[in-house]
Each structure stands twice: as structure tokens, then as C-alpha cells.
């Protein structure tokens, strides 16, 4: 089996939780190491891994084929550009970049360098979203009329991660949680015709946006996306209404919690939601009204890294393409324009 050497640009929370466990567990990858600027901790968890003192030493290592850009959003453009110019393949965390123009430039550079460039949209492989997608794909709700995806929290305090709270390109909830919701919508429904958005600050001490609501216009239905920090009692995070029925689902994927607790993605019950989080289906099938709980599909972020491996080794389609990342950034740019100018912004 061909081995792909992968390295991280940070071994903070995202490196420890979302990337290293899957790279280490996948038989086709080798976790070569991570760039560690001050605290050197990767070898405590992965003794074989290298701790790089600089980006140059990492990208010049011939053992590294793939670089994970898991640093703050405002650094993504410059760091990804350097990685691609060094002849490496790249996985970039969300938000892909600060603007659509930066994203398009990186997409063109990857093509020029014959490199693979993917955005880490791991929430496509959440149990809750996979279940919702399955219900929509089956068509048992009839023609779609109204769809709502939300990412709500109750946390009036600022994040201890200062890069999330300091006004700069890519800061704020639209670039933090927005890419999850937008990518999920675009993966299901394609590019919307237009966008209307309301973006604001709700926490008294916040300097960056911490609330948004977006309305994506499709030919005969609408998709509403929202996120906020003052939702103590959330509604279902996924609400889908069609001409025949409805499906309601909580946000209940357990992978992040399990990873933070040190659970390995090779566990036999990996990604299984608690039974009480099953979605509610209320629809009509063959003239019969059905109202029942639906067993959730298991979540599994390993499917993303398996897709990366298949693309690098067997030239299969990337699990998330750079162009899909570009389209998410186009929606984000349009949302800010819409909110600032209080108008609908056309995309196609």
C-alpha cells in the first residue's frame, strides 16, 4: 500500500482532535510531523513525528507529500500559497480563505502546480447531516418548500482564542460557523440564485460579528442558515419542509466530543448518536401518513481522509474540491454585501 506523508501546520486543538487521529489511524497515511512554534507537544502523542521549527523546514522535507493548513483563517491564503509553490498537496481548514478572490487564486495555483487542493469540510460526515441528506435524497418529503440549518450556542463570553475575536480578515462567526452550514446547503442543493443576509454583533464586548441569518434563493424553495451565541434552548438544527411532509433533526454528532475525550476513530461504535437524538419524520408515503423516529446514520470523518488518500494515490475526485470551497466563499462575500447594503445579491 502506497504511503502518503502528511504534516500539520499546527498541533493545537484542531491538529490534535480533527486531523492527527485520522491520519494516524489510516493505513495509507504517515503522520510525519507538525510545525510547532513554541510548545513542542506532538511527540508526546506521536513519538515518531517530527517537530518542525519553521514552515520552510516542513515544506522542504521530502517525506511530506500533504500539508494540512490548520491555522487561523487570516493565514490560510499565504500559507497555502507557499505550500502549493513548494510542490506539496494541501488540505485547508474552513474558512478556506478570507475572500472569494483569494480562494480562486489558490484554486488556479493548485491547477498550475498540478497539486491537489481540498477544503476540510468535515461536517459533511456528521451523523445528523448524513441522516438529513439521506431523507432529502429519498424524496419522501415531496418537493422542497423550506429548509433551515442552524448552528446555535449559548455562550455570551468571548473565545479565549484571540484570533477569533480580533477584527481582521476572516474573523467572526460568518467565517467560523458559516462555512459549515453553507457547504452543507451547497452540497445538497447546488449554487443558489441569490443571497440575502443579516449579520450583526449581539455580545456587548464583541468586536466581530457573532450572529447571522442568510436566505439562499433556489428556483422553488428557500434555504435559511443561521448561527448565534444567545440560544440557551435551541430548536432542531435541521428543519426540512416539503409538499408531503417534514423532517426535524437535532445537531447531535458525537465525534468532536469523543475525539476531545481521547477516543480513537477505530472504535466499533464510532460516530453513533444516542438513540434519543433520532430525527422526527412526519410525511405521507403511498397514501399513508407516517410519523416516526428515524435511526441516525453514523458519522465518520475518516471518510474525508479516505477520499483524500484515493485522490492522491488513485487520482479519484477529491472529497471536497477547491472549487467547492470557492463557491462557499462566494456566498460569504455576497452575504456581507447583502447585509451592508440591505439588498438581495444575485449569484447566478
Residue 130 reports pLDDT greater than 90: yes
Spacing of C-alpha 15 from chain mean position: 14
Q: What is the CATH number of the domain that holds 165?
A: 3.30.360.10
Work out the pLDDT band at 47, boundaries 50, 70, 90: very high
Give the mean pLDDT of 22-41: 96
Which 3 state secondary structure label does DSSP give 78?
Answer: helix
Work out the pLDDT band at 1, boundaries 50, 70, 90: confident
Give the mean pLDDT of 155-164: 86
Distance CA 191, CA 288 (A): 34
Cβ–Cβ < 8 Å for 199, 212:
yes
Q: Considering the domain boundaries, does residue 210 fall inside one?
A: yes
For residue 220, which phi and psi values (nearest 5 degrees)? -135, 10
One domain, residues 159 and 210: yes
pLDDT at residue 164, rounded to an integer: 84
Residue 21 reports pLDDT greater than 90: yes
Q: Which of 118, 135, 157, 88 is nearest to 248 (CA)?
A: 135
CA dihedral angle for residue 68, residue 73, residue 77, residue 83, rounded to 10 degrees: -20
Q: What is the CATH number of the domain that holds 110?
A: 3.40.50.720
3-state secondary structure string, 35-57?
ECCCCCCHHHHCCCCEEECCHHH
Give the mean pLDDT of 258-269: 93
pLDDT at residue 187, rounded to an integer: 98
pLDDT at residue 314, rounded to an integer: 98
Q: Considering the domain boundaries, does residue 293 fall inside one?
A: yes
Q: Which of 19, 35, 29 is nearest to 122 (CA)?
A: 19
Residue 139 reports pLDDT greater than 90: yes
Give the mean pLDDT of 260-274: 94
One domain, residues 312 and 188: no
One domain, residues 254 and 277: yes
Q: Considering the domain boundaries, does residue 324 fall inside one?
A: no
Distance CA 20, CA 32 (A): 10
One domain, residues 99 and 236: no
Cβ–Cβ < 8 Å for 345, 331:
no
pLDDT at residue 162, rounded to an integer: 79
Quickly list DSSP for 108-168. Answer: HHHHHHT--EEEE-GGGG-HHHHHHHHHHHHTTT-SEEEEEEEEE-B--SPPS-GGGTS-S
57-110 per-position pLDDT tens digit? 999 999 999 999 999 999 999 999 999 999 999 999 999 999 999 999 999 999
- Strand ranges across the sheet with 211-217: 288-294, 279-285, 246-249, 238-242, 144-152, 222-228, 211-217, 194-200, 345-346
Q: Which of 17, 253, 266, 259 is nearest to 126 (CA)?
A: 253
Residue 186 reports pLDDT greater than 90: yes
Tell me the β-bridge partners of 6.
31, 66
One domain, residues 202 and 70: no
pLDDT at residue 216, rounded to an integer: 98
Q: Which of 183, 170, 196 is nearest to 323 (CA)?
A: 183
One domain, residues 156 and 68: no
Instruction: Dig out the grid coordinates for 250 from the structure.
Output: 437535532
pLDDT at residue 230, rounded to an integer: 96
One domain, residues 106 and 182: no
- Strands, E assignment, 172-262: 194-200, 211-217, 222-228, 238-242, 246-249
Radius of gyration of the chain (CA): 20
Residue 233 reports pLDDT greater than 90: yes
pLDDT at residue 348, rounded to an integer: 84
How many domains would you assign to the chain?
2
Question: What pTM did the predictor assign?
Answer: 0.97
Work out the pLDDT band at 161, boundaries 50, 70, 90: confident
One domain, residues 204 and 255: yes
One domain, residues 62 and 132: no
One domain, residues 45 and 155: no
Give the mean pLDDT of 200-218: 96
Give the mean pLDDT of 124-130: 98
pLDDT at residue 124, rounded to an integer: 98
One domain, residues 156 and 228: yes
pLDDT at residue 228, rounded to an integer: 96
Its domain, for residue 290, covers 123-299+331-346
Task: Please count the other Cβ atoms lying within 10 Å of the Cβ belonging to residue 55.
Answer: 18
Cβ–Cβ < 8 Å for 228, 266:
no
Amino acid at each position: 500500500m502506497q504511503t502518503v506523508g502528511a504534516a500539520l501546520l499546527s498541533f493545537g486543538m484542531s491538529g490534535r482532535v480533527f486531523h492527527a487521529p485520522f491520519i494516524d489511524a489510516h493505513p495509507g497515511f504517515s503522520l510525519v510531523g507538525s510545525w510547532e512554534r513554541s510548545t513542542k507537544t506532538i511527540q508526546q502523542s506521536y513519538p515518531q513525528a517530527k517537530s518542525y521549527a519553521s514552515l520552510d523546514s516542513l515544506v522542504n522535507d521530502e517525506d511530506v507529500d500533504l500539508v494540512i493548513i490548520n491555522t487561523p483563517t487570516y493565514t490560510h491564503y499565504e500559507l497555502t500559497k507557499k505550500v502549493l509553490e513548494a510542490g506539496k498537496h494541501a488540505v485547508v481548514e474552513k474558512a478556506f480563505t478570507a475572500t472569494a478572490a483569494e480562494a480562486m487564486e489558490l484554486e488556479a495555483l493548485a491547477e498550475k502546480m498540478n497539486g491537489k487542493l481540498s477544503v476540510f469540510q468535515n461536517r459533511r460526515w456528521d451523523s445528523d447531516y448524513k441522516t438529513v441528506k439521506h431523507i432529502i435524497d429519498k424524496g419522501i418529503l415531496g418537493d422542497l418548500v423550506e429548509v433551515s440549518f442552524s448552528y446555535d450556542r449559548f455562550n455570551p463570553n468571548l473565545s479565549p482564542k484571540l484570533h477569533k475575536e480580533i477584527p481582521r480578515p476572516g474573523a467572526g462567526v460568518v467565517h467560523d460557523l458559516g462555512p459549515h452550514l453553507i457547504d452543507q446547503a451547497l452540497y445538497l442543493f447546488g449554487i443558489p440564485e441569490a443571497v440575502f443576509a443579516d449579520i450583526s454583533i449581539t455580545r456587548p464586548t464583541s468586536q466581530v460579528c457573532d450572529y447571522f441569518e442568510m436566505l439562499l434563493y433556489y428556483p422553488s424553495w428557500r434555504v435559511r442558515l443561521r448561527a448565534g451565541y444567545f440560544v440557551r434552548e435551541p430548536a432542531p438544527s435541521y428543519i426540512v419542509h416539503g409538499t408531503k411532509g417534514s423532517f426535524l433533526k437535532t445537531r447531535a454528532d458525537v465525534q468532536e466530543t469523543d475525539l476531545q475525550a481521547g477516543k480513537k476513530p477505530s472504535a466499533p461504535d464510532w460516530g453513533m448518536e444516542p438513540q434519543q437524538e433520532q430525527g422526527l419524520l412526519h410525511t405521507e408515503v403511498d397514501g399513508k401518513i407516517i410519523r416516526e423516529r428515524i435511526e441516525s446514520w453514523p458519522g465518520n470523518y475518516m471518510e474525508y481522509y479516505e477520499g483524500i488518500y484515493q485522490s492522491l494515490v488513485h487520482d479519484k475526485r477529491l472529497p471536497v474540491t477547491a472549487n467547492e470551497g470557492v463557491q462557499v466563499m462566494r456566498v460569504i462575500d455576497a452575504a456581507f454585501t447583502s447585509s451592508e447594503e440591505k439588498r438581495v445579491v444575485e449569484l447566478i
